[in-house]
């Protein structure tokens, strides 16, 4: 089994907030995502100086690969592709991922710093603030010499955040997958991406074998795809032979694919079990794809997604448990 992922290699900082004051100051939404400039990130970091922080290797695709390797006992060949800076933070990311059984195929971008994310946690909600730095610097020429890494891949996964400022290289990757008849997996990743990069997102959805997203993200692309509802959208995508997975927090997961239309209940968690929702969506994708690589039924894939997400929710940040998973 081999999975190759394309995304933003980031160093995550997790901070617990006591109020919404900082969210309001920086115009941030609970359970939202926002990319900021280097100066804005510096200002936010300064405001967080007195807070306790947790540092982990992050970025959506990297989170997913880490959890895949936990679920599959590192028996999957997992490779991460992205850009880092020529700095110590980039070397730290390489080291952490090696420890999780993930190979890195990073492009080092001279003159740029490795990207970072701050996760502001308030109760059961979190707001992600990202400064991509080197992560968003990549060209088709950076990918061309590395295109061989997907030749023997079972799945090629791309987080939606990868398309920001890299539409050309992202398109080159998806076109390469389609040319090689590789299963391309795309995550809508954020509602603002579906708004700001509408045509690119729609194009990628149409070229994907498997599509992940939450209900709000799918609602955003309904109008440009000439669909009146999420239900109609995923049904019609399913008729095209695609697998579509729609999450909605603690509500049911809807999955369409292979002639099946499924509604999978999310098991309840006690409030005291919920520590941090950062990375829950990434872990869900990891659980689903792990099941898919093991050729499990779609229902089991969704259940594995729920299981992985809930195990991560019980921890601070997207950190890997020190106990083995319980798989069906």
103 included as an active-site residue? no
Indicate whether 219 pLDDT > 90.
yes
pLDDT value at residue 276: 83
pLDDT value at residue 141: 94
Indicate whether 171 pLDDT > 90.
yes
Instruction: Read off the pLDDT band of 324 (50, 70, 90).
Output: very high
**CA-CA distances (angstroms) from residue 221 to 120, 189, 213, 216, 217?**
27, 12, 11, 9, 7
Please state whether 318 falls in left (phi above 0), alpha (psi between -120 and 50) or beta.
beta
How many residues appear in the chain? 328
SS3 58: strand
For all residues of the chain together, what is the average pLDDT? Answer: 94
Indicate whether 297 pLDDT > 90.
yes
Q: Which two tokens stand for residue 168?
A: 């050309």
CB–CB of 242/257 below 8 Å? yes
**Residue 261: CB atoms within 10 Å:** 14
Average pLDDT value for residue range 121-133: 87
Indicate whether 85 pLDDT > 90.
yes
Instruction: Read off the pLDDT band of 100 (50, 70, 90).
Output: very high
Say how far apart CA 47 and CA 49 lie, in whole Å: 6
Q: Which two tokens stand for residue 70?
A: 């936990």
Please, is 119 exposed, middle or buried when counting C-beta atoms within 10 Å of its C-beta (0-12, 13-18, 19+)? buried
Average pLDDT value for residue range 261-289: 93
CB–CB of 80/104 below 8 Å? yes
Beta-carbon contacts of residue 226 (< 8 Å; ≥ 6 apart) = none
C-alpha dihedral over 211, 290, 278, 55, to 10 degrees?
-130
C-alpha dihedral over 87, 93, 95, 99, to 10 degrees?
180
CB–CB of 116/11 below 8 Å? yes
Say how far apart CA 148 and CA 132 lie, in whole Å: 26
Instruction: Read off the pLDDT band of 11 (50, 70, 90).
Output: confident
pLDDT value at residue 216: 96
Beta-carbon contacts of residue 165 (< 8 Å; ≥ 6 apart) = 132, 136, 137
Q: Which entry of 31, 87, 103, 282 is annotated as an active-site residue?
A: 282
Indicate whether 277 pLDDT > 90.
no
Q: H or E stretch including 68?
A: helix 60-71
Instruction: Read off the pLDDT band of 28 (50, 70, 90).
Output: very high
Query: CA 185, 194, 225, 288 torsion: positive or negative?
Result: positive
pLDDT value at residue 67: 98
Indicate whether 124 pLDDT > 80.
no
Indicate whether 13 pLDDT > 90.
no
Tokens 């039924």 map to which residue? Answer: 297
Instruction: Read off the pLDDT band of 289 (50, 70, 90).
Output: very high
Indicate whether 177 pLDDT > 80.
yes
Average pLDDT value for residue range 265-271: 93
Average pLDDT value for residue range 10-15: 87
Instruction: Read off the pLDDT band of 205 (50, 70, 90).
Output: very high
pLDDT value at residue 196: 95
pLDDT value at residue 160: 97
Say how far apart CA 282 and CA 269 lie, in whole Å: 18
Instruction: Read off the pLDDT band of 35 (50, 70, 90).
Output: confident
Say how far apart CA 287 and CA 192 lie, in whole Å: 25
Say how far apart CA 188 and CA 142 lie, in whole Å: 24
Indicate whether 103 pLDDT > 90.
yes
Question: Which has more confidence, 37 or 247?
Answer: 247
Report the 3 state secondary structure along 155-207: EEEEEHHHHCCCHHHHHHHHHHHHHCCCEEEEECCCHHHHHHCHHHHHHHHHH
CATH architecture of 2-7+59-112+133-313: 3-Layer(aba) Sandwich (3.40)
CB–CB of 219/230 below 8 Å? yes
Indicate whether 209 pLDDT > 80.
yes
Indicate whether 328 pLDDT > 80.
no
Q: What percent of the chain has pLDDT over 90?
A: 77
pLDDT value at residue 199: 96
Determine which of 10-14, 47-51, 291-295 has the lowest per-residue pLDDT on average.
Answer: 10-14
Report the 3 state secondary structure along 38-89: HHHHHHHHHHCCCCCEEEEEECHHHHHHHHHHHHCCCCCEEEEEEEEECCHH
């Amino acid at each position: 089994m081999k999975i190759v992922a394309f995304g933003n290699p980031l160093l995550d900082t997790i901070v617990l907030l006591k109020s919404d004051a900082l969210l309001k100051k920086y115009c941030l939404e609970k359970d939202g995502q926002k990319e900021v400039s280097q100066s804005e990130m510096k200002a936010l970091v300064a405001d967080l100086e007195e807070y306790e922080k947790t540092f982990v290797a992050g970025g959506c695709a990297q989170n997913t690969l880490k959890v895949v390797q936990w679920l599959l006992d590192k028996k999957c060949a997992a490779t991460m592709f992205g850009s880092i800076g020529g700095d110590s933070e980039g070397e730290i990311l390489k080291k952490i991922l090696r420890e999780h059984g993930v190979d890195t195929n990073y492009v080092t971008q001279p003159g740029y710093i490795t990207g970072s994310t701050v996760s502001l946690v308030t109760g059961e909600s979190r707001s992600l603030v990202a400064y991509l730095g080197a992560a968003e610097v990549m060209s088709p020429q950076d990918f061309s010499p590395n295109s061989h890494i997907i030749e023997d891949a079972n799945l090629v996964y791309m987080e939606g955040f990868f398309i920001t400022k890299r539409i050309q290289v992202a398109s080159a990757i998806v076109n390469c997958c389609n040319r090689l008849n590789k299963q391309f997996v795309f995550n809508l990743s954020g509602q603002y991406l579906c708004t700001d990069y509408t045509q690119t997102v729609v194009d990628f959805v149409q070229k994907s074998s498997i599509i992940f997203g939450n209900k709000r993200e799918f609602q955003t692309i309904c109008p440009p795809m000439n669909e009146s509802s999420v239900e109609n959208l995923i049904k019609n995508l399913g008729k095209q032979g695609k697998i579509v997975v729609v999450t909605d927090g603690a509500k049911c997961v809807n999955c369409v694919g292979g002639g099946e239309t499924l509604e999978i209940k999310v098991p309840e968690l006690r409030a005291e079990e919920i520590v941090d929702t950062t990375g829950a969506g990434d872990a869900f994708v990891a659980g689903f794809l792990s099941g898919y690589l093991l050729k499990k039924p779609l229902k089991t894939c969704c259940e594995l997604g729920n299981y992985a997400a809930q195990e991560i929710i019980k921890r601070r940040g997207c950190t890997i448990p020190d106990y083995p998973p319980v798989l069906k």
